[in-house]
């Protein structure tokens, strides 16, 4: 099931509508402008670009539509790019290389935005921004299967996505369940739909989004794993981390974060 050499680059149009928000309300004195800015301006791997590693599809955080990559994470990173006076370019690459820190270390991208949970292990390999989203693990299966917990899957097949917190959670908490690994969320959900696996584990946000379009399927269980997503940068890249954190904080106080959230999740954030 593993897809090899999956590497695709997407150039994104500048998010013009967000330019005003980023340029307005000016208590910020750090010069924006990746390549030409002041001493604090982060060094970027590609002139004029903020290169993002992500694993597609991960709807509604990042997915391809009409040849463009769109989604919640994409719009948040567009705000960071705007702040740096550059445009975002997206590199689609398997999640496992993102979460291990290998892609950041090898200079494949400036940052990783991939609906990625902040974990202690990952924190040893690269640095995370402040949290920007809450998540928890969940099970999705055909409604008729009644998969309300791992015990309903004894002797059955549970699909997991390679390198994810869901995979790790299932490996620890689902004894007697056969785990089947998939490279990305798209392949995982296709396997659930076609019955190749009896259920899948992944983050609640993507699964609730998927069942909106799949009325025969349900999220039968959410595990209270208390996860938070963060944007990753190469270890020690404090200059970029600072811009990301300032941008997230500014988006939260200006209401831009809430607008983007509502656009992709159909409701306001609870906190
Ligand atoms: N949040 C999960 C993790 O960090 C899944 C992320 C993903 O598959 N893109 O492992």
Is the pLDDT at 242 greater than 60? The verdict is yes
Is the pLDDT at 196 greater than 70? The verdict is yes
CA of 45 to the centre of ligand 1 (A): 24
Pairing of strands 217-222, 137-142: antiparallel
Is the pLDDT at 29 greater than 50? The verdict is no
CA of 115 to the centre of ligand 1 (A): 5
pLDDT category, 34, cuts 50, 70, 90? very low
pLDDT category, 262, cuts 50, 70, 90? very high
What does the mean pLDDT of the chain come to? Answer: 90
Answer yes or no: same fold for 8-132+230-265 and 136-227: yes
CA of 165 to the centre of ligand 1 (A): 6
Q: Which of 16-25, 42-51, 56-65 has the lowest mean pLDDT?
A: 16-25
CA 256 – CA 71 distance, rounded (Å):
14
Q: Mean pLDDT throughout 66-70?
A: 97
DSSP string covering 6-72: --EEEE----HHHHHHHHSS----SPP-TTTS-TTSPP-SSTTEEEEEE-S-BTTTBEEETTEEESH
Q: Mean pLDDT throughout 6-26?
A: 50
Is the pLDDT at 18 greater than 60? The verdict is no
Atom number of ligand 1 nearest to Cα 55:
9
**Ligand 1, pocket-test mutation among 165, 183, 208, most atoms within 8 A of CB:** 165
Q: Atom 5 in ligand 1: which residue has the minimum CA distance?
A: 164
CATH architecture of 8-132+230-265: 3-Layer(aba) Sandwich (3.40)
Which pLDDT tens digit goes with each residue over 107-158? 999 999 999 999 999 999 999 999 999 999 999 999 999 999 999 999 999 9
CA 216 – CA 209 distance, rounded (Å):
14
Is the pLDDT at 24 greater than 90? The verdict is no
What was the pLDDT predicted at 7? Answer: 61
Domain boundaries, the chain: 8-132+230-265, 136-227
The CATH fold assigned to 136-227 is: D-Maltodextrin-Binding Protein; domain 2 (3.40.190)
Burial of 176 (0-12, 13-18, 19+ CB in 10 A): exposed
Is the pLDDT at 33 greater than 50? The verdict is no
Distance of alpha carbon 233 from the chain centroid: 13
Helix (H) or strand (E) holding 92: strand 87-92
Contacts (Cβ under 8 Å, ≥6 apart) of 268: 258, 261, 262
Atom number of ligand 1 nearest to Cα 98:
9
């Amino acid at each position: 099931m593993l897809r090899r050499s999956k590497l695709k680059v997407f150039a994104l149009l500048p998010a013009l509508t967000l330019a005003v928000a980023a340029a307005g309300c000016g208590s910020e004195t750090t010069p924006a402008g990746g390549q030409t800015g002041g001493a604090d301006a982060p060094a970027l791997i590609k002139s004029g670009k903020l290169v993002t590693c992500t694993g597609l599809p991960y709807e509604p955080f990042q997915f391809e539509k009409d040849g463009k990559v769109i989604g919640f994470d994409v719009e948040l990173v567009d705000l960071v790019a705007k702040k740096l006076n550059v445009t975002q370019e997206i590199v689609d690459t398997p999640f496992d290389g993102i979460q291990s820190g290998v892609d950041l270390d090898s200079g494949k991208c400036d940052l990783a935005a991939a609906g990625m949970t902040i974990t202690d292990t990952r924190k040893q390999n690269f640095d995370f921004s402040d949290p920007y989203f809450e998540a928890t693990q969940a099970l999705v299966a055909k409604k008729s299967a009644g998969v309300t917990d791992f015990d309903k899957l004894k002797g059955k097949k549970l699909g997991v996505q390679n390198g994810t917190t869901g995979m790790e959670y299932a490996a620890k908490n689902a004894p007697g369940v056969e785990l089947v690994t998939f490279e990305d969320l798209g392949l995982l959900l296709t396997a659930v739909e076609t019955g190749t696996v009896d259920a899948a584990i992944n983050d609640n946000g993507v699964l609730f989004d998927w069942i909106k379009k799949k009325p025969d399927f349900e999220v039968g269980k959410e595990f209270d794993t208390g996860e938070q997503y963060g944007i990753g940068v190469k270890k020690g890249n404090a200059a970029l981390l600072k811009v990301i954190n300032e941008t997230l904080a500014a988006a939260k106080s200006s209401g831009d974060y809430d607008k983007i959230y509502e656009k992709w999740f159909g409701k306001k954030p609870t906190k």
